[in-house]
Amino acid sequence: MKFSLISAVALLAAASTVEAAAPLKDLASKKGIYIGAALGNGNLADAEFVKILKREFNHITPENSMKWEVTEPSPATFSFGLGDEIVEAALAQKAKLRGHTLVWHSQLAPWVNQATWTKANLTYAIERHIKAVAGYYNNVPLDHWDVVNEVISDSNGLPRDSVFLKTFGSVDAYVELAFRLAKKYAPKSKLYINDYNMEGEAIAKSDALYELTKRLLKKGVPIDGVGAQGHMLVGQVPSNITAVLEKFTKLGVDVAITELDIRATLPFTQDKLDQQGKDYEAVFRACLAVKRCKGITLWGITDKYSWIPGVFPTEGAALVWDENYQPKPAYDGIVRALTTKAPASYTKPGKGKN
């Protein structure tokens, strides 16, 4: 008890005392990028959360409410209520939106996994889904869509096992289909391929995503951007994110950091908080150093709500505001990146906005 009280006081003292004079979204706009946050429907009932969302962010990603299991829970039965709530919240604060996500092996409606498909039947089901969902939100319209998510596996850069891979026989085939359909039904959105653990060099997964994107672009598949999710660990942010982002943009696409959070093993110490601040700064500087890096979305706002403890029970505290909505050194790190000149080491080899 005594220990936890002391820890709490120490953590409070560690929290950032510097809130930017200007909100992050204004600082980011001046640098030519957007700053977004993922928003769960439940977050909208939390006044403190919404206050920070409105003040600091100009881009919103629905954390869960545009995923297949939500939008088409049974065949040809569509549900847009939860997605609409996020869209309304975004429009109310004049934020742009990132649709997330049309084709993903996870949070897929169970009926898609349970059926036995022929290629023709699954093609029909994918078109029905993309037509309904992307078509529906094309009226908003959404700024960006994560058309496909996490199609490369974690082992050796092999294609991710999924009902889509099994049925189509190759990752190229169903990713091409998804992008062509997304282009047809959401022509106003920039269309992204999105993945995690691909932000560093010499990672098989990053190379595989690069090669896939290159092959598909060569075939004329309408890929506008590559999303680097950015689920990272304190003290282990790859040193060469700029180079990786730059390499993708040389294929002729935009890039964005789409789901940034930087976690560590709990409890958080002052050292970890400080390091986390430097890590957030580094990721923002990496994006700023790349001309075609369009912006950064944080996968949430506060440590009060995060997917991490559910998946990594001993880890967390990955976001920029703590559980009591105190900005952490991570906030100052972002402000530093957005307001001060980058040391030379951050900018190479990008010729971006620093």
Residue ranges binding ligand 9MR (CB under 6 A): 63-64, 106-107, 149, 229, 259, 307
How far, in Å, CA of 312 to CA of 84, rounded?
30
Least distance from ligand 9MR to the Cβ atom of residue 41, Å: 11
Least distance from ligand 9MR to the Cβ atom of residue 121, Å: 26
Phi, psi dihedrals of residue 53, rounded to the nearest 5°? -55, -45
- Tokens 């200007």 sit at which residue? 22
Least distance from ligand 9MR to the Cβ atom of residue 62, Å: 9
CB 168 within 8 A of CB 122: yes
Considering beta carbons, is residue 39 or 122 the nearer one to ligand 9MR?
A: 39
Write b or e for each residue in 62-87: b if 16 or more Cβ atoms lie within 10 A of its Cβ, otherwise e.
Answer: bbbbbbbbbbbeeeeeeebebbeebb
Q: Which residues contact 47 (CB under 8 A, 6 or more apart)?
A: none
Residue 51: which of 327, 335, 336 has the closest Cα?
A: 327
* Side-chain half-sphere exposure of 145, counting CA atoms within 13 A: 34
Considering beta carbons, is residue 149 or 249 the nearer one to ligand 9MR?
A: 149
Considering beta carbons, is residue 66 or 221 the nearer one to ligand 9MR?
A: 66
Least distance from ligand 9MR to the Cβ atom of residue 198, Å: 12
CB 47 within 8 A of CB 97: no
Least distance from ligand 9MR to the Cβ atom of residue 101, Å: 7
How far, in Å, CA of 224 to CA of 191, rounded?
5
Q: Rounded to the nearest 10 degrees, what angle do helices 241-249 and 204-218 cross at?
A: 10
Considering beta carbons, is residue 303 or 332 the nearer one to ligand 9MR?
A: 303
What are the C-alpha distances in Å from 243 to residues 76, 133, 231?
43, 35, 18
First to last CA, the chain: 47
Which of 259, 281, 315, 323 does the annotation list as catalytic?
259
Least distance from ligand 9MR to the Cβ atom of residue 274, Å: 25
Active site residue 48: no
Least distance from ligand 9MR to the Cβ atom of residue 65, Å: 10
Residue positions counted in the chain: 354
Considering beta carbons, is residue 63 or 224 the nearer one to ligand 9MR?
A: 63
Considering beta carbons, is residue 99 or 350 the nearer one to ligand 9MR?
A: 99
Considering beta carbons, is residue 56 or 63 the nearer one to ligand 9MR?
A: 63
The string of DSSP codes covering 150-211 is --B-SSTTPBPPSHHHHHHSSHHHHHHHHHHHHHHH-TTSEEEEEESS-SSTT-HHHHHHHH
How far, in Å, CA of 349 to CA of 243, rounded?
6
Strand pairing category for 315-316 and 254-265: antiparallel
Residue nearest to ligand 9MR (CB): 307
Write b or e for each residue in 295-322: b if 16 or more Cβ atoms lie within 10 A of its Cβ, otherwise e.
Answer: bbbbbbbbbbbbbbeeeeeebbbbbbbb
- What are the catalytic residues? 259
